[in-house]
């Protein structure tokens, strides 16, 4: 089940990036569950990772390797998270890095490992190592679709996006894939994202861009309030487009590049919400009028994480009192309920501390019947604003997670 349709778009090749997949049989025999991403020498690579204290062993290794070398290969597996596995998990992840390095003739520190799937089970490294020749053989600039499918867990459809723009008089292409449909409340976010461009970008610039991009996209979605142990976002810039290198002084180009990466990331993030486990709704929570960003986010998260709001969304029941209650307990200091206004799309439902005189149950019902809509809150106390995207809480969400290991 997912909200709306998402036919696989045209995902443009990125010069300097090749992707290959293989079947290691980690969880299901015959399923392609390994993806390998090859990055050309001289590229800039930057990443952000989950802040979960129980982060997976591959995340520890990624951080170490990124601090030492520029990655040449990204190795991703689905079906096993290799999280909470201690030294055994670390050795397993390192073995896969070493095997990639042997095949490619590089150092193990130039390989970043990523895993997603069941927590608490050591990675079957030997299966992955045995599948790597197939992944290398399948490397191709057009391998985005197969890679997007290989990294899926409970996702119902692969997620990819692409765009082109002009930078420094040259056409620049940006393409990306991501996975994630449950255990989603990124905090850097089970999600993985890989976005590459052929732009020529200084490493210091890309490191700034990745943080801005994640905060405008993957850090603005929540499905169930659970931050995964394995979340990661990697940005790649191969430098093959021929544009003059964008360095820290090129403010205009940095803004354009950041906006383009963010557009891809935000599109992928919204698609995660549409494909949330058991989802029937994708809802934007827009909060403005806060004294600061924290107030807006506190209110938005209170609405997003309220089981009563989420079940009302699933029932298509415009029970707006649940929204009011969530705003009220969000912890905004000295909140004056009489200054708060709330809309469902364009229909005002709350003002002056109660139901708006113009509101009708029929209007609310019409909005809640839509698969996608906006809950818009104005706190009336400042100029800050924030946006989150979330899904409903359905019978299928409970079933999928109850049966996840079976």
* CA–CA dist 251, 351 (Å, integer): 42
* Integer Rg of the chain from CA: 22
* Active-site annotation, residues: 190
Task: Label the pairing between strands 192-197 and 232-237.
Answer: parallel
pLDDT tens for 133-183 read 999 999 999 999 999 999 998 888 999 999 999 999 999 999 999 998 655
Cβ–Cβ under 8 Å, residues 92 and 123: yes
* CA–CA dist 92, 126 (Å, integer): 8
- Ramachandran region of residue 180, left (φ > 0), alpha (ψ -120 to 50) or beta? left
What does the CA dihedral 293, 296, 301, 304 come to, rounded to 10 degrees?
-140
Domains annotated for the chain, with CATH where assigned, are 17-274 (3.60.70.12), 282-402 (3.10.20.340)
pLDDT tens for 36-55 read 999 999 999 999 998 777 78
pLDDT tens for 172-218 read 999 999 998 655 455 534 579 999 999 999 999 999 999 999 999 98
Q: Of 29-43, 65-79, 169-183, 316-330, which range is least confident?
A: 169-183
Cβ–Cβ under 8 Å, residues 123 and 85: yes
* CA triple 54-60-66, angle to 5 deg: 145
């Amino acid at each position: 089940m997912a909200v709306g349709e998402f036919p696989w778009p045209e995902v443009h090749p990125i010069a300097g990036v090749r992707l290959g997949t293989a079947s290691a049989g980690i969880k299901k025999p015959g399923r392609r569950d390994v993806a390998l991403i090859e990055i050309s020498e001289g590229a800039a690579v930057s990443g952000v990772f989950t802040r979960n204290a129980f982060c997976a062993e591959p995340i520890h290794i990624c951080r170490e390797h990124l601090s030492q070398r520029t990655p040449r290969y990204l190795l991703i597996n689905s079906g096993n998270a290799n999280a909470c596995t201690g030294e055994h998990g670390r050795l397993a992840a390192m073995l896969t890095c070493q095997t990639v390095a042997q095949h490619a003739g590089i150092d193990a520190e130039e390989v970043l490992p990523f895993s997603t799937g069941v927590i608490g089970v050591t990675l079957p490294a030997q299966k992955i190592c045995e599948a790597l020749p197939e992944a290398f053989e399948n490397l191709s600039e057009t391998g985005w679709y197969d890679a997007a499918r290989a990294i899926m867990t409970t996702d119902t459809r692969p997620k990819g996006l692409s765009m082109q723009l002009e930078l420094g008089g040259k056409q620049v292409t940006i393409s990306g894939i991501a996975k994630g449909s449950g255990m989603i409340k990124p905090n850097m976010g089970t999600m993985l994202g890989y976005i590459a461009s052929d732009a020529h970008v200084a490493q210091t610039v890309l490191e700034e861009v990745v943080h801005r991009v994640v905060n405008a996209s993957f850090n603005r979605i929540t499905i169930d309030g659970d931050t995964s142990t394995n979340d990661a976002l990697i940005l790649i810039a191969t430098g093959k487009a021929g544009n003059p290198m964008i360095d820290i002084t090129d403010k205009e180009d940095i803004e354009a590049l950041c906006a383009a990466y963010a557009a891809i990331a935000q599109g992928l993030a919204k698609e995660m919400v549409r494909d949330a486990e058991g989802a029937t709704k994708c809802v934007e929570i827009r909060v403005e009028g806060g004294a600061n960003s924290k107030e807006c986010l506190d209110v938005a998260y209170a609405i997003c994480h309220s089981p009563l709001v989420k079940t009302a969304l699933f029932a298509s029941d415009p029970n707006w009192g649940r929204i009011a209650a969530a705003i009220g307990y969000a912890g905004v200091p000295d909140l004056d309920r009489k200054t708060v206004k709330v809309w469902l799309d364009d229909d005002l439902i709350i003002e002056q501390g109660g139901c708006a005189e113009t509101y009708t149950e029929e209007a609310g019902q019409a909005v809640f019947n839509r698969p996608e809509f906006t809950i818009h809150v104005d706190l009336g106390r400042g100029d800050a604003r924030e946006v989150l995207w979330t899904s409903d809480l359905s019978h299928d969400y409970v079933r999928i997670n109850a049966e996840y290991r079976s």
